[in-house]
Amino acid sequence: MPVVLREARDTLVPDMDGPHGPLPPVMLALTVLTGLVDAFSFLLLGHVFVANMTGNVVFMGFALAGAPSFSMLASAVALLSFAGGALAGGVTVHLARAHRGRQLQHALLVETVFVTAAMIVTLVSGGPYTGGVRFTLIVLLGVGLGVQNASVRSLAVPELTTTVLTRTLTGAVADSRIARGPGSRAGRRVLSAVAILAGAFLGALAALNVHPALPLVIAVGLLAAMSTVASLLARSDAPWTRPLVRT
């Protein structure tokens, strides 16, 4: 079997006795979630991201230059909300530092609360999402995705950050044998890119052609499923649940 396909298979169906156990496919599911919510926020909340903060910094530059359709305030609110979520997520995962399964469980439960609240706001308010509703949604989703990113950073599954693809794609090329590198891990890295692409496609398709709130409905369903999985994983005492030794 080609190396790329073997790496993809091992990510989707991981070795349960490996250093990260069942975490890789969970990270892929959260990567799909990232695409879903960023599709919703960018298309319906006025050119702002709630998960990919690099984009918001770029958008702030556009707004400063006077580019239409970009809001300095919206991008700033997203950044601050994400930072607040990352702080809350950091506290959440550090309280469960001794068990990676419980870290994931606690973080996903908190994230589910915020994304569910955003879904309820979209369903109750109806579109278009402007004024106070727009900023409420940015805050709720920004906090939720900040929590997610804090937990993902703590879990530290290689090449599966759920949001940042620039380094992932760079590594796939720069570490390749063609570049005389140690090996690109292209199977896992390509899956990560495909996951966020799939989430963005599904989110845009749902928002533009079915119902504006549907991306968040799907996101909540995905989070509910992942939270259930995480609750089961929190009961495990397998080697992967032990904290990573950072060097």
Q: pLDDT tens-digit profile of 60-97?
A: 999 999 999 899 999 999 999 999 999 999 999 888 88
Per-residue pLDDT averaged across 178-191, rounded? 70
* Residue 183: domain span: 3-52+81-235
Confidence label for 113 from pLDDT (cuts 50, 70 and 90): very high
Per-residue pLDDT averaged across 125-145, rounded? 95
CA-CA-CA-CA torsion for 200, 202, 207, 211, nearest 10 degrees? -160
Tell me if 242 is assigned to some domain.
no
pLDDT of residue 179: 61
Tokens 């991981």, located at residue: 14
Per-residue pLDDT averaged across 140-159, rounded? 94
Q: Which of 215, 70, 95 is nearest to 154 (CA)?
A: 95
Alpha-carbon distances of 7 from 21, 184, 185, rounded to whole Å = 15, 10, 7
Half-sphere exposure of 119 (CA within 13 A, CB side): 19
Tell me if 73 is assigned to some domain.
no
Tell me if 76 is assigned to some domain.
no
Share of the chain above pLDDT 70, in %: 92
More confident residue, 217 or 97: 217
Tell me if 246 is assigned to some domain.
no
Confidence label for 247 from pLDDT (cuts 50, 70 and 90): very low
Half-sphere exposure of 86 (CA within 13 A, CB side): 15
User: What is the tally of structural domains in the chain?
Assistant: 1
First to last CA, the chain: 33
DSSP of 20-64: TTTHHHHHHHHHHHHHHHHHHHHHHTTS--SS-HHHHHHHHHHHH
Tell me if 61 is assigned to some domain.
no
Q: Which of 144, 168, 176 is nearest to 30 (CA)?
A: 144
Tell me if 37 is assigned to some domain.
yes
More confident residue, 178 or 16: 16
Entry pTM: 0.92
Tell me if 58 is assigned to some domain.
no
pLDDT of residue 176: 64
Quote the CA–CA distance of 215 and 37 in Å, as a whole number.
7
Quote the CA–CA distance of 13 and 233 in Å, as a whole number.
15
Q: Which of 201, 241, 230 is nearest to 218 (CA)?
A: 201
Q: pLDDT tens-digit profile of 18-64?
A: 999 999 999 999 999 999 999 999 999 999 999 999 999 999 999 99
Query: Residues 154, 20: contact at Cβ < 8 Å?
Result: no
Per-residue pLDDT averaged across 126-141, rounded? 94
Residues 186, 189, 192, 198: is their CA dihedral positive or negative? negative
Tell me if 243 is assigned to some domain.
no
* Residue 11 parent element (H or E): helix 3-12
pLDDT of residue 177: 65
